[in-house]
Amino acid sequence: MAASCASKFDQIPDALWSRIEPLLPIYQNSCKGGRPRLSLRKVVTGIVYVLRTGSQWKAMPREFGSGSAVHSYFQEWTQQGVFENLWREALLEYDDLKGIDWEWQSLDGAMNKAPLGGEKNRKKPDRSRENRRQAFGVDRRSRRAVGGGSGGGQCPRPEAREGDTEQHSGAAADAVAAYAAASVFR
């Protein structure tokens, strides 16, 4: 017989199961019939398998039951606080065995600014990048090339006349002035 890919997780030890089982919800059999419920021991083992391996729910071995069924138990138990109760009981048991200094606690974390995060209170764009792409079309180059145009797929720019400053926005004018000042001081 070939070894199962989940052989380490075939069964939760009896000593551990005897401490977990009382903290799980009690389910009644349905009077309407239908499929029987999964074994809660297999469900817990399947949840542990997914959490330890990082596997997707639907990719878990079938020996634990359907991945979607085990996932629905996981979601239900999360909402009911089952895992929080398991954690609390484990802490209390560890406190009895080894002792926990409840006065001293540590939390690990890092709060750093992203290296290229930009200014803290900068002006937000008017619309998202995705909306801009939709408004102008994803493939702008092919549309310009179809229209003929001025070669190279570029639209012709209107010629600026001397003293005509209304065509430049304030930011563009500032950029031109900064470039000119930088070239003077080289």
Average the pLDDT over 5-9 and give the result: 56
Domain spans of the chain?
7-21+37-97
What is the pLDDT of the chain when averaged over all its residues? 74
Helix (H) or strand (E) holding 94: helix 82-97
In the prediction, which pLDDT does 162 show? 57
Rounded Cα distance between 88 and 99, Å, is 14
Q: Are 91 and 100 in contact (CB under 8 A)?
A: yes
Residue of 27, 59, 66 whose CA lies nearest to 43: 66
More confident residue, 124 or 184: 124
pTM: 0.52
Rounded Cα distance between 44 and 14, Å, is 13
* 103-138 residue pLDDT tens: 877 777 777 766 666 666 666 666 666 565 555 555
- Inter-CA distances, 128 with 97, 117, 123, 137, Å: 55, 17, 13, 14
In the prediction, which pLDDT does 83 show? 93
User: What are 143's two structure tokens?
Assistant: 């549309």
Residue of 15, 9, 18, 24 whose CA lies nearest to 63: 9
